[in-house]
Amino acid sequence: PRDFLIAPSILSANFACLGEEVDKVLASGADWVHFDVMDNHYVPNLTIGPMVCEALRKHGVTAPIDVHLMVTPVDQMISSFIDAGADMITFHPEASLHIDRSLQLIRDGGCKAGLVFNPATPLSYLDYVMDKIDMVLLMSVNPGFGGQAFIPATLDKLREARARIDASGRDIRLEVDGGVKVDNIAEVAAAGANTFVAGSAIFSAHQADDPNGYDSVISQM
């Protein structure tokens, strides 16, 4: 049975009409909304925060909102995003002084929790918290910007993460973020991922034959 989910990263959407962009991408078959939060501190870029998440909820978005925190410290933002209507919240373990506490904070708020691994961050951060994790997110680019090329070493890391998840016997999603395109998504899935973030591949796909939606690109994924 198909258990693949597509989570378009709204980082590459047109922010001047974000509500319509999200409506269109969901109408085109996307499963989640991937929400990239950058603080110009943990990563060298600045994006959107809890007020924008809340605004999407008020706009009528009911799909799961997958909040990827690229901020430090993390705990205040976790609380704010719980209140703003997030469904899952992931953070980078290097950005939290108290990883277990941050994970617990997310779960106590009724959200799914996950850790995000930069290309050179070891999976050993999972060692003592596997029972508090609903999702593992592997970055296949260095975080901060859309439109970068997929780092091939991620494929081996995905296989390693898949083995750890399977060995745990727990229901943990394996998500990949960065440089995922129509032409490499099958290989990424074969390495063990089941949840795919795609930003530029989707939002730059305004084809002449598909002026109002993103159907043609999402249906190829």
Q: Taking the complex as a whole, how short is the minimal distance between the CB of residue 195 and Zn ion, in angstroms?
A: 12
Q: Give CA 109 to chain center in angstroms.
A: 19
Residue 212's CB is within 10 A of a number of other CB atoms, namely 10
Give, to the nearest 10 degrees, the angle between helix 50-59 and helix 75-84: 10
Sheet containing 135-139: which strands, arranged edge to edge?
Answer: 5-8, 195-198, 173-177, 135-139, 112-117, 88-91, 65-70, 33-38
Binds ligand DX5 by CB under 6 A, chosen from 6, 12, 71, 84: 12
Angle value at C-alpha 118, between 47 and 202, nearest 5 degrees = 55
83 is in an annotated binding site: no
Complex with Zn ion: residue 191 or 197, whichever CB lies closer: 197
Interaction of residue 114 with ligand DX5, rule CB under 6 A: no
- Tell me if residue 108 is catalytic: no
Among 50, 179, 192, 213, contact with ligand DX5 (rule: CB under 6 A): 179
Which DSSP state fits 4? Answer: -
Q: What string marks each residue from 62 to 101 as x (binds Zn ion by CB under 5 A) or -?
A: ------x---------------------------------
Q: Is 19 annotated as a binding residue?
A: no
The alpha-helical segments, DSSP class H, found in 7-73 are 18-27, 50-59
Task: Please pick, from the candidates 21, 39, 175, 177, the single residue that binds Zn ion as defined by CB under 5 A.
Answer: 177
Q: Tell the smallest beta-carbon distance from residue 198 to ligand DX5 (Å).
A: 5
Rounded CA gap, 134 and 48, in Å? 24
Which residues, other chains included, contact 110 with Cβ-Cβ below 8 Å and sequence gap of 6+?
A: 82
Contact call for residue 68 and ligand DX5 (CB under 6 A): yes
Among 6, 21, 30, 34, binds ligand DX5 (CB under 6 A): 34
Contact set with Zn ion (CB under 5 A): 36, 68, 177
Instruction: Please give the residue ranges that form the binding site for ligand DX5 (CB under 6 A).
Output: 9, 11-12, 34, 36, 68, 141, 143-144, 146-148, 177-180, 197-201
